[in-house]
Amino acid sequence: MKDIFFDLDDTIFDFKKAEAIAMKTTLEHYGIEPTQDVIHLYSVINQSQWELLEKKLLTKNEVKIRRFKLFLDALMHTAKPEEVAAFYENRLSIGHYFIEGAEEMLRALHGAYRLHLVSNGVYEVAMSRLNSSTIVPLFDHIFISGALGVDKPAKEFFDACFAQISDFDPAQAVIVGDSLTSDILGGKNAGITTIWFNPHQKSATSIIPDYEINNLGEIEELLHVL
């Protein structure tokens, strides 16, 4: 293997933790008590909207507003979804939290492989979070869908990435990610090897990864045998 593509959220960065903290701050700002039920409600709505984006039924800008519109409607809250979305995005763009072992893994692989980030998201938000960490120099390329104009799992997303990598060979490339519907399906669409990072040991679906790991410490050894 020569090129390794890493998903960002919930593979390198603990997005669930960042999301929870940004959400708590946002709810409190708008006078909503951040109970577990309220936070769970938002998570379910948010996930459903991202799945619609992956199916190309919504744009990213629509997702950013719609998730709050549906959430505020469910709570019968009168705040403007656009305003709440902007407040939340601002909070989310501040800081980062690593998935256990992520930083150590990247430093161990750096130099032995070319590392690239592939993330669906808003370019400015992703870069703000990345720049608050020290991992940016470890990557040869940082590919954010907002800047490419197309999202994972589309083949076009990966084609745009591959075009920017010198001497790229899909047979020597692997993607590591936590999402079956965007990372693993995307890797399959693009014709590269897929490794599903499945820390909570969810059961697989109709999307079958080539390999599965439960913690990031397993990657180095696995790459040796690929």
The binding track of 164-193 with respect to Mg ion, each residue x by CB under 5 A or -, is --------------xx--------------
Q: State the nearest-atom distance from the C-beta of 9 to Mg ion, in Å.
A: 4
Token look-up 């109709």 returns: 206
7 included as an active-site residue: yes
7 touches Mg ion by CB under 5 A: yes
Number of residues that bind Mg ion (CB under 5 A): 5
Nearer to Mg ion, 81 or 153 (CB): 153
Choice among 3, 7, 9, 10 that is catalytic: 7
Q: Amino acid letter at 122?
A: V
Q: How far is the CB of 183 from Mg ion (least distance, A)?
A: 6
The 127-166 site mask, x for binding Mg ion (CB under 5 A), equals ----------------------------------------
Range 103-132, binding Mg ion (CB under 5 A): none
> Given the complex with Mg ion, which of 145 and 179 has the nearer CB atom?
179
DSSP string for the chain: --EEEE--BTTTB-HHHHHHHHHHHHHHHTT----HHHHHHHHHHHHHHHHHHHTTSS-HHHHHHHHHHHHHHHHT--S-HHHHHHHHHHHHTS---BPTTHHHHHHHHBTTBEEEEEE-S-HHHHHHHHHTSS-GGG-SEEEEHHHHT--TT-HHHHHHHHTTSTT--GGGEEEEES-IIIIIHHHHHHT-EEEEE-TT-PPP-SS--SEEESSGGGHHHHHHH-
Out of 1, 4, 6, 9, the only residue in the binding site for Mg ion (CB under 5 A) is 9
State which of residues 3, 10, 19, 151 lies at the interface with Mg ion (CB under 5 A): 10
**Two structure tokens written together for 226:** 């690929």
Q: Which is nearer to Mg ion, 27 or 99 (CB)?
A: 99
CB of residue 119 vs Mg ion: minimum separation in angstroms? 8
Classify residue 138 as exposed, middle or buried by CB count within 10 Å of its CB (0-12, 13-18, 19+): middle
Residue 79 vs 127, nearer CB to Mg ion: 127
By CB under 5 A, which span of 9-17, 99-107, 159-167, 194-202 interacts with Mg ion? Answer: 9-17
Positions in the binding site for Mg ion (CB under 5 A) = 7, 9-10, 178-179
Give the catalytic positions in this structure.
Answer: 7
